[in-house]
Amino acid sequence: MQLSNGKTLTLILLSALLLGSEVHIESHHLVAPDSLQYKQPSIVSGRTDVVAVTPWLAPVVWEGTFNPVLLDSIYKPQNISIAVTVFAVGKYVMFLKDFLETAEQHFFIGFNVHVYVFTDQPTKVPQVKMAAGRQLTVCSVPSSKRWQEISARRMELIQTLIEEKLQNRNDFIFCLDVDSKFHGRWGTESLSGLVAVIHPGYYRDDRSRFPYERRPESRAYVGPGQGDFYYCGGAFGGLLQEVHQLAKTCRSNFEADAKEGIEAAWQEESHLNRYMWINKPSKVLSPEYLWQDFKPRNPEVYIVRFSGVVKNYAEIRPNV
């Protein structure tokens, strides 16, 4: 399969049938320029304070585990395009300016980026000067009286956006919370088929403490002794097809639960965690990729790349 804009980067999808269920094995063929010189990689020295690979052998991206110059020079000739979704409904429009301005400083600099802002107040979307190759589209959405509904409806809107507007135009997509700012590089090191971000609040905890949906009647249920990590609802992404599958599944499970009067503990974040337990992410981003401003930085976090701002929920949400 060719990436839509890619000329040479070929993604080989091998399908296998295993015990009646279809398994997709992805293999990226990365082409580097032969003229590039960079620090010799080592397999015996490097970071020892963090784990940089999951038990299913997906990379966990931490500062010091990748070479940004090498990765950019691999992806640059492919002319890849990255879509971003961000929702700003009700008072959350106030976060857009900082989000958009800091994205211009740190998010996929030098690459094609198309930001889709979903809002109920299109006139309040700030004008932010964007570099060449970067653009913004405003999409109107209805307002809502419940923050849970705003948060949860994102999956449906992401699914529809991919189906109606993005096919054949973008290669990758990231879906991000608006009440956050970029502080450091977020770039090609984050690209993969299905990308999840570890939640900063729980990554040192035992999984029995993760706030998964614990009622077996919910389609977001994760049982005792299950679950790898606790992932954030505030940032996820990957190839369009992968994120489409994720959004479609989470949306339909969320709606089926709703018909039975169940709302998962953390809305779409609970459904995302259930999805990622079964469909293992092909790349996991460390909490560098979604920290929270109120949290002191832990020593293993060398750099905070993206972080949620401190906010007063009672003031900004439409309901408590």
Binding site for ligand UD2 (CB under 6 A): 87-90, 92, 147, 150-151, 177-179, 199, 232-234, 266-269, 290, 308, 317-318
Nearest distance in Å: CB 87, ligand UD2: 4
Beta bridge partners of 292: 308
Nearest distance in Å: CB 240, ligand UD2: 20
Known binder of ligand: residue 72? no
Name, in order, each residue with C-beta under 8 angstroms of 169's C-beta and a sequence gap of 6 or more.
4, 81, 83, 114
Q: What are phi and psi of 284, to 5 degrees?
A: -120, 130
Closest to ligand UD2 by CB, 58 or 152: 152
Beta bridge partners of 81: 112
Closest to ligand UD2 by CB, 92 or 172: 92
Q: What are phi and psi of 44, to 5 degrees?
A: -120, -10
Closest to ligand UD2 by CB, 87 or 277: 87
H helix and E strand count, the chain: 6, 13
Given strand 60-61, what is the order of strands in its sheet? 60-61, 283-285, 194-198, 231-239, 172-176, 81-88, 112-119, 134-140
Known binder of ligand: residue 103? no
Residue, CB closest to ligand UD2: 233
- Taking the CA atoms of residue 158, residue 68, residue 102 and residue 235 in that order, the dihedral angle to the nearest 10 degrees is 30
Known binder of ligand: residue 177? yes
Residue 39 in tokens: 């620090």
CA distance linking residue 130 with residue 135, whole number of Å: 7
Known binder of ligand: residue 269? yes
Closest to ligand UD2 by CB, 192 or 267: 267
Nearest alpha-carbon partner for 177 in 281, 86, 102, 54 = 86
Nearest distance in Å: CB 236, ligand UD2: 9
Is 269 an active-site residue? yes
CA distance linking residue 17 with residue 319, whole number of Å: 47
Nearest distance in Å: CB 72, ligand UD2: 27
First vs last Cα of the chain: how many Å apart?
47
Catalytic: which of 189, 213, 268, 269? 269
Closest to ligand UD2 by CB, 63 or 269: 269
Nearest distance in Å: CB 178, ligand UD2: 4
Q: Which amino acid is at 11?
A: L
Known binder of ligand: residue 293? no
Cite the active site residues: 269
What residue numbers does the annotated binding site for Mn(2+) cover?
177, 179
What residue numbers does the annotated binding site cover?
87-89, 92, 177-179, 199, 269
What residue numbers does the annotated binding site for UDP-N-acetyl-alpha-D-galactosamine cover?
87-89, 92, 177-179
